[in-house]
Structure 1
Amino acid sequence: MLRGLATVSFYATDVKAAREWYEKLLGIEAYYAVPSAEAPAYVEFRFGDLQCELGIIDAKYATHQVGAGSGAIMYWHVDDLEATLTRLTDLGATVNETIVDRGNNTGFRTASVVDPFGNILGIMTNPHYVQILEDLQPAR
């Protein structure tokens, strides 16, 4: 069965430009690039509490149509939804869906943007995610 997020794959016609954009967003450099850092067809980042992987693949290898707002939405937990949405739009993303309360004030709130390469990037506050992190902490 499904065990957890392994890698999220985004597509871009200009992998180098996408790498640079995500480096600005994440504040880290991609740790992996093939065939080379100068002319990448694939780059990968690891980040966040669980070192999730985000891979950016040259769109010519996509098995589906790639374009503005195509694909499933993967939501990444953030601590400050409003500030993160503002940062994304400041970096050139466009709002796909404004902030929505998903559950009658239970703390689940989402928003999404389309990055400059046509991928939908979801962000959310998720109390379950926070609880999982707390549960992973060793007992004191």
Structure 2
Amino acid sequence: MIKGLRTAIYPVTDLTAGKAWYASVFNKAPYFDQPFYVGFEIGGFELGLIPDGTPGATGSKIFWGVEDIDAEVARIVALGAQVHAAVQDVGDGIKVAELLDPSGNVLGLIYNAHFDLQAVR
């Protein structure tokens, strides 16, 4: 039985720079920091960075929950991201945006008032 999202992994071209950038975005230090993998615990889920891969915007899309999507887009763009897809309402009050991190990976953001944190297992 699949129990839900656990880990999103992004390849980066510079692990040290990627680690610093994501630490700024999530305002959190990694809990696991090795030359082959850096892991951040984000709201019960994991964001992993790997140094051996090809960054890009064509792979899987992962969306991280936010309370104020417009404010978070502005904050993360100020940290060096680029807007890949502007904030849009996709229906029923759910809003999404896609940013490109400095390596070119998509960092998806979602505001979804219907998401039930109690259902996370």
TM-score by length of 1: 0.79
| 1:1-140 alignment, distance < 5 Å | 1-34=1-34, 40-48=35-43, 51-58=44-51, 60=52, 62=53, 66-103=54-91, 106-129=92-115, 132-133=116-117, 135=118
Partners of 1:44 and 1:79 in 2: how far apart?
23
CA RMSD of aligned residues (A): 1.4
Runs of 4+ more than 2 Å apart:
none
Amino acid at match of 2:42: F
Amino acid at match of 1:120: V
Amino acid at match of 1:47: I
* Identity among equivalent pairs (%): 35
Question: Any conservation in 2 of the 1:70–1:118 contact (CA below 8 Å)?
Answer: no
**Cα shift readout 1:47-81 (whole Å, capped 9, x = no counterpart):** 22xx11000001x2x3xxx2442312111110000
Decide whether aligned partners of structure 1 residues 31 and 67 sit closer, same or farther in structure 2, where only a CA change above 3 A counts: closer
Q: CA deviation at 1:128?
A: 2.5
**Cα shift readout 1:91-138 (whole Å, capped 9, x = no counterpart):** 0100000011101xx111100100001110100111221xx12x46xx
- More helix per residue: 1
TM-score by length of 2: 0.91
| Structure 2 segments unaligned to the other structure (5+ residues) | none
Amino acid at match of 2:15: V
**Cα shift readout 1:21-51 (whole Å, capped 9, x = no counterpart):** 01111111111122xxxxx221000022xx1
Amino acid at match of 2:4: G
Partners of 1:24 and 1:86 in 2: how far apart?
14
